[in-house]
Chain A
Amino acid sequence: MITLEKRPQPSRLWTAVTPLIAVALTMVMGGLLFAFLGADPFEAIRTIFWDPIFNPQFAGFTRPQLLVKAGPLILIAIGLSIGFRAGIWNIGAEGQYIMGAICGAGAGLALYPSESPLIFPMMIIAGGLGGWAWAMIPAVLKTRFGTNEILVSLMLVYVAENILASVASGLLRNPEGMGFPGSRNFKQWDAAHNAEIITGTGMHWGVVFAFIAVIAAYVLMARHIQGFNIRLTGEAPRAARFSGVNPTRIVILCLGISGALAGFAGLFEVTGPAGQISIDFNSGYGFTAIIVAFLGRLNPVGILLAGLLMALTYIGGELAQLMLGVPGASIQLFQGMLLFFLLATDVFTNYRLRFGRAEVA
């Protein structure tokens, strides 16, 4: 009989290799899935993981997309990971992302058509504040009334989506858009356009922010006492209180950081790759970032790599849809599998398998 036995302390080796094993298992199961769908599994895997970067035919177009997609994922996931370390489960980053985009875009559009160089920084701040404020709703409800932040933040995503639909066809609608829903296009307004910093790389300000966030989060969690307190709260809440950590402050801090970073991501997306506030400009980054955070082991550097990997599956998935005709849902299934296998293999960081005879216990 096989039994699971608790390790005396978490295995460092397994912490590092479980994401790789999860990726490998996902490739195998994904390959099987594609085979059932009638596609050549090896070709499908190659299309998803290899072609976007190395195919001579379309890598020129898809390679910059890697940073474009990875930027918001990493930025949001870094914020989420800080909360997750403290045991604060913000599931509503998608909502904070949307509200950041609306607030930032709205603040900019209010001053249209000014060409002041201060417009874009002001929009960034407004975007961060929008996401922060949206995250403060579950934070305050949790600290005041003990509500569950998972439910509140998740439900606020749907509220945000409805607000988005409303402003896209109302408040922020392009007055020159002949009545179509959607705001002015930021790509045609230089002062507010989040353009590529280096042409052809996909590198925009959101990616820069994401890299800064990675470094800042690393310093916070590894060196700063506040990061220590966050980890302590997640590991042993009672010990944290004994140490003198104020749990309310940790909740406010963690939800605030993750909300603000999601808000930034939304603003950079709407002024850059998306170009305008439209009913469906959000593409689920807020939810995918949860997978990125866990795939990256809630570790900033891990999240950087996981964000790039996840971006790859997005681009490769689109490519596979185009080239092999596999359905779009199978790509989402593929991403879901990644999280599933990660959580499954994660057991081995704290437990080891033992083959032995049955025990009556």
Chain B
Amino acid sequence: MADTLLSIRGLTKAYPGVVANDDVSFDIRKGEIHALLGENGAGKSTLVKMIYGLVAPDKGRMELDGAGFAPAKPSEARRSGVAMVFQHFSLFDALDVAENVALGMENPPKPRDLARQIREVSETYGLPLDPGRTVGTLSAGERQRVEIIRCLLQDPRLLIMDEPTSVLTPQEVEILFETLRKLKAEGTSILYISHKLEEIRALCDHATILRLGKKVATCTPSEVSARELAEMMVGASFATPEAREHARGETLLRVESLSLPAPGAFGTPLREIALTVHAGEVLGIGGVAGNGQDELLAALSGERISAPGTVALKGVDVSRQGPEARRDAGLLSGPEERLGHAAAPDMSLIENGILTAARREGLVKSGFINWGRSRQFAEDVIAHFDVRTPGPGTAARALSGGNLQKFVVGREILQKPDVLVLNQPTWGVDAAAAAAIRQAVLDLAADGAAIVVISQDLDELMEISDRFAALNEGRLSPSRPVAELDIEKIGLMMGGAHDMEVAHVDA
């Protein structure tokens, strides 16, 4: 086809023990937004790394504009007109925008010319950005603009974007989409990687779906439902989590004017956090990454203790107690980072069970570990939550992300907590496993537990929460019933516009 920009034929890349890409072929046309869709581990990253010259394919070839294309390194790919915006930014906080942009260029123009170019591009594409500002002061959305502008200055023919919306508020997402549509109108092709189905349906012309390294289908996303896309991605149908009818009980967790200084240079301070959660209720806390999610979890789990009277569990002040005492009292938690925080990578699942369940499950008696019971507990978690592993003796790091997540969340749920706090419970987990985890959370709430779910996945929060609050720069908005919210209002809450609405505090 004459209008094909990049043609991919039979790309195969195997890593030891896993075939990341198996005979993948598809075409990206000129001036289209092409989605690359797949679960974590489906091979999306490997594929774009091959296009961007970071990884060499084992087999297969690529053609750019009809000519053979085999970049050995990213600079070759850039010279051929391929640019990429990574999920994780590579910017220097201490430098200003123009300096950061210059660092990423092969032959940067004079600073004054560069500043002018940045201003031009940012105006043309509706990406407001001042070249003189220090990057350290920018929000995640603004930082992403720096990366995008850095790419656009090279006049790319193909722009690769890896999960660009994971750090954006809904309003920022709209701005980004406008930019992408403008680029498309000018003839730039965009390869858009995501697992957010609604976004893809709204934005993309075509979608290529990867599953376990293989191409499953290329389709027109606006013509299929999100549900169909999800099933193509997962390869099977799965049940949507459903909440059982149940009554809301007494207040189990009450947090009042909880403030904590930032832990280290890159943390976020918590500012006057207040929240209450009742028995049988799920409180969803949304927000863009890096707005105090980790810090809030640490303050609730007991990893960091706070001023007296700030955290009360069932009416008892636990602010000064550590994680063990809070667990004894019925407050359990699951941090975001699986390896290294929720679980010790090189330890077995049995040992990782002891990590939090030692006392509640009676795995330790007068200081001595009961290995038989500990193994039994790990096996129970594995059985209840369908953790795919050779056995409980397997090291945590040998499990896939989704399976380990099921284990660490299951480990807490199986201990029947009164209050459960989870941070990003389904991050990087495949759709079926995510549905299973959400169902388990809903069941736990139906059995009378109070649950706090901190997540950056708004769809997830809409699906399982009764009330919603947003974290923004370490501040928590008042919570509101999910039933009266839409994505627009949530975006405003996340952007820190606390006073644009009269607060409807219901507790």
Chain A residues within 8 Å of B, Cβ to Cβ: 5, 8-10, 223-226, 228, 231-232, 235-236, 238-244, 246, 354, 359-361
Contact = CB atoms under 8 A, between A and B. Distances in A.
Interface residues on B, range: 35 or more
Contacts of B345: 235-236
Contacts of A238: 337, 340-341
B369 A5 contact: no
14 contacts: A8-B398, A10-B346, A223-B369, A225-B354, A225-B368, A232-B344, A239-B342, A242-B301, A242-B303, A243-B323, A243-B324, A359-B56, A360-B56, A361-B55
Interface of B: 16-17, 54-56, 72-73, 301-303, 322-325, 327, 335, 337, 340-347, 351, 354-356, 358, 364, 367-369, 371, 394-395, 397-398
Given A232-B355, A241-B323, A243-B323, 15 more contacts: A8-B398, A9-B398, A223-B368, A223-B371, A225-B358, A232-B351, A235-B344, A236-B340, A236-B347, A242-B303, A244-B324, A244-B325, A244-B327, A360-B72, A361-B55
The 5 closest A-B pairs by CB, nearest first: A244-B324, A9-B395, A244-B323, A236-B344, A360-B56
B395 A239 contact: no
Contacts of A231: 347
A359 B20 CA distance: 15
Contacts, number: 86
B367 A224 contact: yes
B322 A9 contact: no
A359 B345 CA distance: 27
Nearest to A235: B344
Nearest to A237: B340
Nearest to A227: B369
B335 A242 contact: yes
Interface centre among A239, A240, A360 (most CB of B within 10 A): A239
Nearest to B397: A9
Contacts of B344: 232, 235-236, 239-240
Nearest to B364: A225
Nearest to A354: B16
B211 to A, nearest CB: 22
Interface centre among B17, B72, B325, B368 (most CB of A within 10 A): B368
Contacts of B323: 241-244
A144 to B, nearest CB: 19
Contacts of A246: 322
Given A8-B398, A354-B16, A361-B55, A244 B347 contact: no
A146 B230 CA distance: 50
Contact of A224 (B56, B301, B327, B369): B369
A359 B46 CA distance: 14
Given A241-B303, A359-B56, A225 B367 contact: yes
A354 B368 CA distance: 42
Nearest to B341: A238
Contacts of B395: 8-10
Contacts of A241: 303, 323
Contacts of B367: 224-226
Nearest to A3: B16
Contacts of B73: 360
A8 B356 CA distance: 24
Contact of B346 (A9, A225, A228, A354): A9
Nearest to A226: B367
A9 B347 contact: no
Nearest to A5: B16
Contacts of B16: 5, 354
A228 B371 CA distance: 12
Contacts of A235: 344-347
A224 B325 CA distance: 19
Nearest to B347: A235
A239 B343 contact: yes
B476 to A, nearest CB: 22
B148 to A, nearest CB: 26
Nearest to B374: A228
A246 B323 CA distance: 10
A228 B354 contact: yes
Contact of B397 (A8, A228, A244): A8
B342 A224 contact: no
A180 to B, nearest CB: 51
Contacts of B397: 8-9
Given A8-B395, A360-B55, A239 B340 contact: yes
Nearest to A358: B56
A236 B396 CA distance: 12
A213 B345 CA distance: 29
Contacts of B322: 244, 246
Given A8-B397, A238-B341, A228 B327 contact: no
Nearest to A361: B55
A309 to B, nearest CB: 27
A104 B337 CA distance: 49
Contacts of B56: 359-361
Contacts of B371: 223
